[in-house]
Amino acid sequence: MDNLTFNVTGTLVWYYYICKREVWLMAHGLEPDSDNPFIDIGKLIHETSYKREKKEVQFDGVKMDVITDDNGKTIVAEIKKSSRFKQSATMQLAFYLTKLKEAGLEAVGELRFPSEKRKEKIELTPEMEGELEKICGEIKSIVSLNVPPKPEKCKYCSSCGYRDFCWV
């Protein structure tokens, strides 16, 4: 894949913190197991939560779960089934906030965990921006490989929609 024309997405940022092999598989158009119940649960939570708010907003090649207004302040929210992947969700949201900032739009992030009945505000920091710059370069390097990175067992493998690409 050509590194010059490839655009990093928020989803790839999310996967970067979970599994580098998933980054490569997704970027190369390989779909996760469509019968994976964990993926279905995530989709259901996304579809049934926050019905009154504008969802699936696309901007500059990224797709954000929810954008809403709170007294003149733009809130970009990411809906997740649990806080188990908080670091990856935080950085995915930071990626969206960075894209908006680059376009001259100021926003605040919010992680939403409907099954836990909680929300968490996320503000973009210079440290997050620096980390994103670094990992976007690493994501491009991973994607440019001719073959995916070798599988590495981690605590997320048992529920992964890509596990058949690694452990069959």
* Ordered DSSP codes for the chain: --TTT----HHHHHHHTT-HHHHHHHHTTPPPPTT-HHHHHHHHHHHHSSTTSEEEEEETTEEEEEEEEETTEEEEEEE-S-GGGHHHHHHHHHHHHHHHHHTT---EEEEEEGGGTEEEEE---HHHHHHHHHHHHHHHHHHHSSSPPPP---TTGGG-TTTHHHH-
Instruction: With beta carbons less than 8 A apart as the criterion, state whether 162 and 33 touch.
Output: yes
**In the chain, where the domains are located:** 10-167
Mean pLDDT over 11-27 rounds to 93
pLDDT at 47: 61
pLDDT in tens, 60-78: 777 787 777 778 888 888 8
Q: What is the DSSP letter of 53?
A: S
Residue 157 has pLDDT above 60, yes or no: yes
Most confident of 5-14, 32-41, 45-54, 128-137: 128-137
pLDDT, greater one: 80 or 134? 134
pLDDT in tens, 122-141: 999 999 999 999 999 999 99
Question: In whole angstroms, what is the distance from residue 70 CA to residue 88 CA?
Answer: 25
pLDDT, greater one: 14 or 71? 14
- Residue 43 in tokens: 């989709």
Task: Out of 3.90.320.10, 3.40.50.10860, 3.40.640.10, 3.40.120.10, select the CATH number for domain 10-167.
Answer: 3.90.320.10
